A and B are shown apart, each in its own frame.
Chain A
Amino acid sequence: NAGVTQTPKFQVLKTGQSMTLQCAQDMNHEYMSWYRQDPGMGLRLIHYSVGAGITDQGEVPNGYNVSRSTTEDFPLRLLSAAPSQTSVYFCASSYGDRVHEQYFGPGTRLTVT
């Protein structure tokens, strides 16, 4: 199993550009989430999904869109990048509420200039 994969590992965007961060898992996990990590703030939940076709907002959803058309994939879209979105982004997945461990991807470092 590859586990949770994220692409790209690094990205530099100009203000106003759009892009999609990719996340995929091959463990047949129901739940998937996106977090952002900023210095001094830990990780904060952006959006999450409890199954294909079902998504919901987390703590810091503004400026981001998600969709979940398949169990395996959970892309995160930045429609118009802003410097405040400079961060490290992590995707995570888990079977569901019964199994507690979340498996994290390796992260994407995004810089918006």
Chain B
Amino acid sequence: AQTVTQSQPEMSVQEAETVTLSCTYDTSESDYYLFWYKQPPSRQMILVIRQEAYKQQNATENRFSVNFQKAAKSFSLKISDSQLGDAAMYFCAYRSAREYGNKLVFGAGTILRVKS
């Protein structure tokens, strides 16, 4: 079974600075998808960014980018120019490309605090 590990329970960043959240995963598959979800205090799950394993290019979405290292099974999220609204819990998630059901395996999450 696949597992996702987020080794940082909490991170802090100063407003306008850059922060990187770590995620590693374990799988024997070669084709899969990786995601970062944001969960603000409202509890709503919001998709931040996604990466297809067959793509070598790292995904970017405005201030959010990933560093995808397939061989190392690492998928970190970089948030540039951090804003107060970025404060949230962030979850890394894995989905197999072979299985039906769009089933996500989540990490334990990282709480991000943004200081003004």
Contacts and interface: CB of A to CB of B under 8 A. Distances in A.
Interface of A: 31, 33, 35, 40-45, 48, 50, 56, 58-59, 88, 90, 92, 94, 96-97, 100-102, 104, 106-107
A56 B102 CA distance: 12
Interface residues on chain B, size class = 20 to 34
Contacts of B44: 104, 106-107
Interface in B66-94: 91, 93
Contacts of A40: 9, 108
Contact of B101 (A42, A50, A90): A50
Nearest to A45: B103
B5 to A, nearest CB: 10
Given A88-B43, A101-B50, A104-B44, A42 B102 contact: no
Given A33-B101, A50-B100, A100-B33, A106 B43 contact: yes
B11 interface: no
Nearest to B109: A42
Given A43-B106, A100-B35, A106-B42, 17 more contacts: A33-B102, A33-B103, A35-B104, A41-B108, A42-B4, A42-B107, A42-B108, A43-B91, A44-B106, A48-B102, A48-B103, A97-B97, A100-B33, A100-B95, A101-B47, A102-B47, A102-B104
Contacts of A42: 4, 6, 91, 106-109
A33 B106 CA distance: 14
A88 B106 CA distance: 15
The 10 lowest CB-CB distance pairs between A and B, nearest first, are: A42-B106, A104-B45, A43-B106, A48-B101, A42-B108, A31-B102, A107-B43, A94-B102, A42-B107, A40-B108
Contacts of B97: 97
